[in-house]
Amino acid sequence: MLDYLRIGAVVYFALFVSCLEAKTPEQIFQEASRSVVVIHAADQEGNPVNQGGGVVTGKESVATNCHVVTEGARISVHYGKRVFEATLKHSDLERDLCQLEVPRLDAPRATLWTGRLRVGQRVYAIGAPEGLELTLSEGLISSLREFDDEQYIQTSAAISQGSSGGGLFDSEGRLIGITSFFLPDGQNLNFALPSKWIEELGSRAGNAAGAAGEKDRVARKWAGRIADLKAKRDWTAVLSVAQQWVRSQPMHATAWQELGDAYRSMNRPRRAVSPYMQALRINPDLFESWLNLGFSYLALNQYDRAIESFVEALRLKPNDATALYNTGVAYYFQNRQDKVKEVHAALGKLDQKTAQEFAKKYITR
């Protein structure tokens, strides 16, 4: 009986200590937010290019996502009411992880946790979504995703536009990841880079001078892998690699276009729309994205939007028969025979065979 009492006392004491160690969300924010900064990237003239977060991980050193800073010529770090000029010291574009050197930044460094993580454990994201001041969101580790022998943290803690580069902290306030990416067409599909990558950054990364060339090298690597998989018609693998590419280079328009193409190839036009729109937000002069966005809207019977997309494609390539033909198809399903006839006449000037084919299907006798 005495042994049972002793065992019970030990268990109770362990639970008591555990409760004492657990911190409230308020405590976690007050402590961890002291190591989180806001980053602004601007062009040579000082015009804003991008904004995100960063985490102090060493003396005058800040970790963030590369896509927050690499598009800017000038980088500033905002900590409280103070502003510091920063330079890019290390960049690992393949992992989308960069390190800034911030002279005179006197802020406490975050405590890194590189040990085992568990699906279901509670986590807290601290960043600056939509340009707001530091914001706290709470959630769980939803999954630990394996991609190319690398492990990403999937979390239900909200990550919004502008949250990139912020910190993901555990219930003890330790930094377990850098908030990086979210899929806008899904629920709770938010991702963070594990904090152990911060420790590996110096050995893996290039310097600032080689950042532009490294960015192109990484993009070519992803594009080559997708091309190989397309040749095999392995669309599931194409989709997986395209998702990884947009995680690695979220500001690369072609990556988003490839993701849209992957969804279209799998007959999922509704899922394709968002990646195409993201590609066009980054680069509005991508003909293939406008064309394939139009095809996606056609498949969804959203004819007004299909026409708008095909018209944008024709803006870039006025004599493209495919874009013109499908503009006429969208007009046909709107029962706008006057417009259908205009398209037929325009096709006749470009390609008589295509015009005849179009007339057989869509000109009402």
Domain boundaries along the sequence of the chain = 37-101, 122-204, 215-362
Query: What are the residues whose beta carbons fall under 8 Å from the beta carbon of 247, sequence distance 6 or more?
Result: 96, 147, 152, 180, 181, 191
Per-residue pLDDT tens digits of the chain, which is 365 residues long: 545 445 444 444 444 444 446 689 999 999 999 999 999 999 988 898 888 999 999 999 999 998 888 888 899 999 988 999 999 998 888 788 999 999 999 999 999 998 999 999 999 999 877 656 788 999 999 988 776 567 889 899 987 766 789 999 999 999 999 998 776 555 567 889 999 999 998 887 654 445 557 778 888 888 998 999 999 998 888 988 898 788 778 778 999 999 999 999 999 999 999 999 999 999 999 999 999 999 999 999 999 999 999 999 999 999 999 999 999 999 999 999 999 999 999 999 998 999 999 999 998 76
Instruction: Verify whether residue 320 is a known catalytic residue.
Output: no
Within 10 A of 235 (CB to CB), how many other CB atoms are there?
Answer: 18
Q: Which of these is catalytic: 33, 35, 40, 96?
A: 96
Mark whether 164 is an active-site residue.
yes
Which CATH class name applies to 37-101?
mainly beta
pLDDT at residue number 3: 52
Architecture of domain 215-362: Alpha Horseshoe (1.25)
Report pLDDT for 160. Answer: 72
For the entire predicted model, the pTM comes to: 0.67
pLDDT at position 130 is 62
Per the residue annotation, which of 67, 90, 252, 344 is the catalytic one?
67
**Quick check: is 67 catalytic?**
yes
Catalytic residue among 35, 163, 164, 248: 164
Residue 184's pLDDT is what?
56
CA–CA distance, 178 with 187 (Å, rounded to integer): 19
Q: Which CATH number fits domain 122-204: 3.30.70.3270, 1.20.1540.10, 2.60.40.10, 2.40.10.10?
A: 2.40.10.10
> Residue 122 CB: number of other CB atoms within 10 A?
17
Alpha-carbon distance 142 to 144, whole Å?
A: 7
- Please give the single-letter amino acid code of residue 307: I
User: CATH topology of 122-204 equal to that of 215-362?
Assistant: no
